Amino acid sequence: MGYPLIHQLTEAQIQDLHRLYQTVWWAKGRSLADTRQLVHNTDIVLGLCEPDSTTLIGFSRVLTDYLFRAVILDVMVAAGYQGQGLGRALLEAIVNHPELAQVESFSLFCTPEMVPFYQKWGFTDHLTQKLMQRSHYERRPCQP
């Protein structure tokens, strides 16, 4: 494949990531400061770069307790690089990451069209638990 896998982003690569976020509906509108903060607050960061320019072209991140749960977020590949197996390379790097070897359960969010891709990795949408979400904009006091 020839694209180096990195575990830390330079400032230029954070700016590349910010531009990448602006291309997806679920992250469009995030500020560069938000992007910096999410990288800083993420347990494991994985990126794929152009070998010559070190421009970030693929990215994913993991939030984890390193034992029981890990949540895979933001598996993204720049439009001009899709279809080359880079998403597969990111997921492979995550599930085989030495710091995640003891993790009991991996979870992720994906759009319906991506379900077949993740099923190849053993992910299933047949959950025994219900995923619930509370948005920052929907904060309300608890009702007894």
What's the CA gap between 106 and 119, in Å, rounded? Answer: 13
Q: List the one residue out of 18, 41, 15, 14 whose CA is nearest residue 28.
A: 18
Phi/psi of residue 89, nearest 5 degrees: -65, -40
Q: What is the pLDDT of residue 122?
A: 85
Model pLDDT for residues 93-138, shown as the tens digit of each residue: 999 999 999 999 999 888 888 888 888 888 887 766 666 676 765 5
What's the CA gap between 29 and 67, in Å, rounded? Answer: 33
- The reply to whether CATH 2.30.42.10 applies to domain 5-138 is no
Phi/psi of residue 5, nearest 5 degrees: -95, 130
- For residues 66 and 47, is the Cβ–Cβ distance under 8 A? no
Q: What is the pLDDT of residue 120?
A: 86
What's the CA gap between 36 and 32, in Å, rounded? Answer: 6
Average pLDDT across the chain, whole number: 90
**Res 66 pLDDT > 90:** yes
Q: List the one residue out of 36, 39, 19 whose CA is nearest residue 28.
A: 19
